[in-house]
């Protein structure tokens, strides 16, 4: 895949929504501090992403080969059974925001800084999603992320980063030995064309997840992905 860097886009942080997420009264002293932190983070932050197109070269019951890189996942194999191309991506709040938050020592302020970096990551993810829509015009898509399902574990970040080129030098995102991303406020995955409404969350039983995008369907795996 030839990676394309998506950076330098305009971004904003909705301070009102952020304060609501943090359960802070907009008129409180703490809210004023968070607004100041948002201003200082925005002054230094450079959220960014990379993406591209990769082609399905072969498939088996339990995996696919994309541009010569092997991926092992029954769910991915089934989801890509009619797809010929996919759109891998990595998006991040950026090293700049990470460095900004590293200078904060107070535990509560660091918690707020984390929420601000999460909002920056959301801006980067939206920018790369919009870029893929405009640039590749893939039609209706769904997405999968390594680590969100037992079937496609975090270790599959390895081949995804191999496919994505060199995220470390391109956008400053690297993998630890345990395949966690640094900066931690980063996301990776791939979009794929589909006529269905697949969401990882439909297969994920995690309770009370704040990021849940679809209800857990305990029979979905047996219905759609089980080999029988």
Stretch of 3-11, 157-165, 183-191, 205-213 contacting ligand SF4, by CB under 6 A: 205-213
52/147 with CB nearer ligand SF4: 147
CA distances for 23 relative to 15, 27, 33, 160, angstroms: 12, 12, 14, 36
Residue 186 touches ligand SF4, criterion: CB under 6 A? no
Toward ligand SF4, which CB reaches closer, 52 or 151? 151
Instruction: Verify binding: residue 181, ligand SF4, rule CB under 6 A.
Output: no
Length of the chain: 228
DSSP state of 202: G
d(CA 154, CA 176): 11
Give the pair of three-digit tokens for residue 210: 């704040």
- Of 89-97, 151-159, 185-193, 201-209: span binding ligand SF4 (CB under 6 A): 201-209
Residue 102 CB partners (closer than 8 Å, separation 6+): none
Interacting stretch for ligand SF4, rule CB under 6 A, among 82-90, 110-118, 159-167, 200-208?
200-208
Q: State which residue, 53 or 115, has the beta carbon closest to ligand SF4.
A: 115
Which two structure tokens, joined as six digits, stand for 211?
A: 């990021």
43-65 b/e (C-beta count within 10 Å ≥ 16 → b)? eebbbbbbbbbbebeebeeebbb
- Contact, 98 vs 183, CB < 8 A? yes
In this chain, which stretch among 70-78, 114-122, 175-183, 208-216 interacts with ligand SF4, using CB under 6 A? 208-216
For the chain, percent helix, then strand, then coil, each to nearest 5?
A: 40, 20, 40
Where in 121-180 is the site for ligand SF4 (CB under 6 A)? Answer: 148
- Take residue 31 and report the two structure tokens written for it: 């809210």
Q: Which of 69, 121, 173, 204 binds ligand SF4 (CB under 6 A)?
A: 204
Among 209, 218, 222, 226, binds ligand SF4 (CB under 6 A): 209
**200 touches ligand SF4 by CB under 6 A:** yes
Selected from 36, 206, 222, 226, the binder of ligand SF4 by CB under 6 A is 206
| CA–CA dist 15, 138 (Å, integer) | 33
Binding residues vs ligand SF4 (CB under 6 A): 148, 200-201, 204, 206, 209, 211-212
């Amino acid at each position: 895949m030839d990676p394309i860097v998506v950076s330098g886009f305009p971004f904003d942080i909705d301070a009102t929504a952020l304060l609501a997420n943090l359960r802070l009264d907009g008129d409180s002293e703490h809210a004023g501090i968070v607004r100041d932190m948002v201003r200082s983070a925005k002054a230094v932050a450079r959220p960014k992403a990379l993406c591209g197109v990769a082609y399905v070269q072969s498939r088996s019951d339990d995996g696919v080969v994309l541009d010569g890189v092997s991926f092992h996942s029954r769910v991915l194999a089934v989801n890509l059974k009619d797809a010929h191309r996919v759109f891998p991506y990595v998006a991040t709040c950026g090293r700049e925001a990470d460095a900004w938050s590293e200078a904060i020592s107070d535990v509560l302020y660091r918690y707020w800084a984390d929420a601000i970096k999460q909002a920056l990551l959301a801006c980067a993810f939206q920018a790369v999603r919009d870029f893929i829509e405009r640039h590749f015009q893939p039609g209706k898509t769904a997405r999968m992320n390594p680590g969100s399902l037992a079937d496609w574990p975090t270790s599959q970040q390895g081949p995804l980063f191999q496919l994505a080129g060199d995220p470390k030098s391109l956008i400053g995102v690297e993998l630890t030995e345990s395949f966690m991303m640094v900066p931690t406020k980063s996301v990776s995955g791939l979009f794929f064309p589909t006529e269905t409404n697949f969401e990882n969350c439909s297969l994920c039983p995690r309770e009370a997840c704040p990021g849940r995008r679809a209800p857990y369907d305990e029979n979905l795996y047996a219905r759609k992905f089980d080999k029988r």
